Amino acid sequence: MLAPAIALAACCVLWAIAAVLPMASIIQLFLRLLGMSRDTAYNVYRYLFANNINLWAVVSFIILFIIAMYIVVRAISRSFVHMAEGVDRLLDEGDEPIRLPAEFDFLEARLNEARRELQHRQQVAQQAEMRKNDLVVYLAHDIKTPLTSVIGYLSLLDEAPDMPAPQRTRYIGVTLEKAYRLEQLIDEFFDITRFNLQTIRLECENVNLFHMLAQMADEFYPMLSPQGKTARVECEEGLTVYADPDKLARVLNNILKNAAAYSDPDTVIRINARREGNAVSIAVENRGKTIPQHKLDSIFEKFYRLDTARSSNTGGAGLGLAIAKEIVEAHGGRISVRSEDGVTAFEVTLPQNH
């Protein structure tokens, strides 16, 4: 790079001399500085300037262009190096922010924002994986309990064919109850292994919401009545919603299961549905312990359970509300929760713009 720079400097000097000084002054300069005769100085002037002025202009331009391109390419390459270093820092686990030169402030801000988002997602994924692993351990342990009971009661029935009918009926009832619980736990395992809600496919149609809610309230009666709980539906009979009926039923079932599990005895679970403009709102409200705000923030996360002290014998795998959220969002709707003064309410809003 030194040779072109020297050549350019020489060209610029000669070009400046030719542009500023008249011919006589240039010749006089050659005479004094170089000790040339007048004829020699004149010939040098003609050879260097008078006859080749266009050539000097072209050569100067080419050399200047090459130097300019070199400077530009070098600056661009440095920019790419800085950007590559910033991208490499995205995967660093440290808390030190990414630093770039001042001219890349906008890129520095975007990279730091992307890094924070990536770290947050990694943390959420790790927490979900830890909760899932814990739930697998809990479920594996709890599956053994009803299975042992089923085997035990069936063995008694097999070994005592002359068992009194009332006792036999009671043992069969207990065995059936344990078998149903075993089926529920196995379903939880399936939910964990196939939890890929990005592939939800909807088959929407107009659903009579009143009939669906009334049917679900009836289905929950056996679960609620032993503790004096009831489910009350408040919905106009002609209200319809455009949704996938099976998926919507699962959303409401998951919310009602949560309300049934965490509501106080001898209370009413209110199910209210109404039209709000171009949307339909469904709210499920129950009385029980107020849920702290930090738990509300995580309540829709995968494998999150409100009461970590519960075994899977009394609680699920923490997938119900996460699944409900994904299904609602697949419909283009939203789900929210609030808990104040002992009242917890889940609200599902579905757009009706089909």
Give the residue extent of every domain in the chain. Answer: 2-89, 128-194, 203-351
> What is the percentage of the chain residues whose pLDDT exceeds 90?
22
Q: pLDDT tens digits, residue range 149-206?
A: 888 888 888 888 888 888 888 888 888 888 887 887 777 666 656 655 455 678 899 9
What average pLDDT does this structure show over 118-141?
73
Q: Cα separation of 265 and 271, whole Å?
A: 17
> Which pLDDT does position 240 carry in this prediction?
92
CATH topology match: 128-194 vs 203-351: no
- Whether this prediction's pTM lies above 0.85 is answered by no
> Which pLDDT does position 193 carry in this prediction?
60
Residue 269 confidence class, pLDDT cut points 50, 70, 90: very high
> Which pLDDT does position 310 carry in this prediction?
44
What average pLDDT does this structure show over 18-41?
53
> Which pLDDT does position 131 carry in this prediction?
66
Name the β-bridge partners of 233.
271
What average pLDDT does this structure show over 217-241?
91
* C-alpha closest to that of 251 among 287, 213, 289, 279: 213
Looking at every residue in the chain, the average pLDDT score rounds to: 76
> Which pLDDT does position 171 carry in this prediction?
86
What average pLDDT does this structure show over 258-270?
92
Q: Which CATH number fits domain 128-194: 3.90.1300.10, 1.10.1380.10, 1.10.3720.10, 1.10.287.130?
A: 1.10.287.130
> Is the backbone of residue 317 left (phi > 0), alpha (psi -120 to 50) or beta?
alpha
Answer yes or no: is pLDDT of 31 > 60: no
> Which pLDDT does position 19 carry in this prediction?
46
> Which pLDDT does position 206 carry in this prediction?
93
Answer yes or no: is pLDDT of 37 > 70: no
82 or 285, which is more confident: 285
> Which pLDDT does position 163 carry in this prediction?
86
Q: What is the 3-state secondary structure (H, E, C) of the chain?
A: CHHHHHHHHHHHHHHHHHHHCCHHHHHHHHHHHHCCCHHHHHHHHHHHHHCCHHHHHHHHHHHHHHHHHHHHHHHHHHHHHHHHHHHHHCCCCCCCCCCCCHHHHHHHHHHHHHHHHHHHHHHHHHHHHHHHHHHHHHHHHHHHHHHHHHHHHHHHHHHCCCCCHHHHHHHHHHHHHHHHHHHHHHHHHHHHHCCCHHHCCCCCEEEEHHHHHHHHHHHCHHHHHHHCCEEEEECCCCCEEEECHHHHHHHHHHHHHHHHHHECCCCEEEEEEEEECCEEEEEEEEEECCCCHHHHCCCCCCCCCCCCCCCCCCCCCCCHHHHHHHHHHHCCCEEEEEEECCEEEEEEEEECCC
Tokens of 142: 């709890």
Residue 283 confidence class, pLDDT cut points 50, 70, 90: very high
Whose tokens are 């009602």? That residue is 256
> Which pLDDT does position 78 carry in this prediction?
74
Helices (H), 160-208: 165-193
What average pLDDT does this structure show over 266-279?
93
Q: pLDDT tens digits, residue range 301-341?
A: 765 555 544 444 445 555 678 778 888 988 999 999 999 98
Residue 285 confidence class, pLDDT cut points 50, 70, 90: very high
> Which pLDDT does position 66 carry in this prediction?
87
Answer yes or no: is pLDDT of 112 > 70: yes
> Which pLDDT does position 252 carry in this prediction?
92
Q: Which CATH number fits domain 203-351: 3.60.20.10, 3.40.50.1370, 3.60.70.12, 3.30.565.10?
A: 3.30.565.10
Answer yes or no: is pLDDT of 34 > 60: no
> Which pLDDT does position 73 carry in this prediction?
79
Residue 264 confidence class, pLDDT cut points 50, 70, 90: very high
Q: Cα separation of 298 and 291, whole Å?
A: 11
What average pLDDT does this structure show over 55-63?
75
